[in-house]
Amino acid sequence: MRALMILIAMVCISFYTMANCENSTLVIHTNSGLPVKVYVDGMTGRNAPTQAVTVNGITPGRHQLKVVAVYTDDYGYTKRRTIFTGSINVNPSRYMDAWVEEGKGVSIHETKEPCDGEYQKRNEPNVNYDSEGDQYPQSNVRPNNNSQPSSVQGGNDYRPAAGNLPAHISDDDFEQMKNTIANTQYETKKMDTLKVLIGSNLFATSQVSVLMNLFAFESNKLDVAKILYSSTVDKKNYSRLASNFNFDARKEDFRKFMAGK
């Protein structure tokens, strides 16, 4: 009898774990940079409004999403303004990086996070949903099965001749650095690893391109470009990195960054 009860408990735990494993995570950013509160099916967390809100444990299916900007007006009063309301589809075991642009809708970039912890990019293209539920095609993101960035596979490879560049990190050291970052499982941890490994190293723009393409989310690609600019030896080539972005909004953010330099 005791053995039967243990078996039943183990089965229940297994089903519970599998159910939780299918839940997804949604991270909301806004183009305006205003602090926001996020409501999923009318429910919101207790955290104060922030510029990036993470919602964990979203079950697969269609959910109602509402994003409310919280700001202070010229008279010092706290105001709220709904900048997006609409429905989104949530697939099992996803990390969803969403950018909300007021009046235009939400762009969602997904990566799959299977229960065994393996990290891989989603094979099928994503879609964006506007406030009326219409679908807009999002740029396709293909999995990189051998952990090599697209620039190494015939993509944006514009490496100048080695003799034309000032001294920078050697190919061997860079390869080791790249592989360490590529083998780190999650985007946030990858970013932390990159920041640690940069140290006092200098980089060519082509190497920055490779490091950007180790990240799935365009917001992270942009952060990499910003972080490494000061450590790049051929800044005259840096504007070419705009081709690493698929979304026009991210390209524009990158151009604004370059214009401020």
* Predicted local distance difference test score (pLDDT) of residue 261: 75
Residue 225 has pLDDT above 90, yes or no: yes
Backbone φ, ψ for residue 36 (5° rounding):
-135, 160
What residues pair up with 95 in beta bridges, in sequence order? 25, 111
- Whose tokens are 């099916």? That residue is 41
Give CA–CA dist 72/79, Å, rounded. Answer: 6
Residues 48-99 have pLDDT tens digits of: 888 778 888 899 999 999 999 998 888 889 999 999 999 888 888 888 888 8
Residue 131 has pLDDT above 60, yes or no: no
- Give me the chain's average pLDDT, please: 74
* Predicted local distance difference test score (pLDDT) of residue 113: 65
* Predicted local distance difference test score (pLDDT) of residue 154: 31
Per the model's pLDDT, the better-predicted residue between 207 and 261 turns out to be: 207
Give CA–CA dist 99/223, Å, rounded. Answer: 15
Give CA–CA dist 61/59, Å, rounded. Answer: 6
Give CA–CA dist 222/18, Å, rounded. Answer: 35
Q: Tell me the HSE value of 127 on the side-chain side, using a 13 A CA sphere.
A: 11
- Domain range summary for the chain, segments of one domain joined by +: 21-137, 150-259
Among 111-120, 172-181, 220-229, which stretch is predicted with the lowest mean pLDDT? 111-120
DSSP the chain: -HHHHHHHHHHHHHHHHHHHHH-EEEEEEETT---EEEEETTEE-SSPPBSEEEEEEEPSEEEEEEEEEEEE-TTS-EEEEEEEEEEEEE-SSEEEEEEEETTTEEEEEEEE--TT---EE-SSPPEEE-TT--EEE-------TTS--GGGGTSS--PPPGGGS-----HHHHHHHHHHHHTS-SHHHHHHHHHHHHTT--B-HHHHHHHHTT-SSHHHHHHHHHHHGGGBS-GGGGGGGGGG--SHHHHHHHHHHHHT-
Question: How large a percentage of the chain has pLDDT more than 70?
Answer: 72
Per the model's pLDDT, the better-predicted residue between 110 and 132 turns out to be: 110
CATH class of 21-137: mainly beta
What is the pTM for the complete model shown?
A: 0.43
Give CA–CA dist 88/43, Å, rounded. Answer: 15
Reported confidence tier of residue 249, pLDDT bands at 50, 70, 90: confident
- Average pLDDT over every residue of 121-143: 32
Four-residue CA torsion sign, 133, 108, 50, 71 = negative
Residues 188-205 have pLDDT tens digits of: 888 889 998 998 899 999
Among 37-41, 160-164, 242-246, which stretch is predicted with the lowest mean pLDDT? 160-164
* Predicted local distance difference test score (pLDDT) of residue 8: 40
> Which residues have CB under 8 Å from 254's CB, separation 6+?
222, 225, 241, 242, 245
* Predicted local distance difference test score (pLDDT) of residue 253: 92
Residues 107-119 have pLDDT tens digits of: 887 777 655 443 3
Per the model's pLDDT, the better-predicted residue between 216 and 124 turns out to be: 216
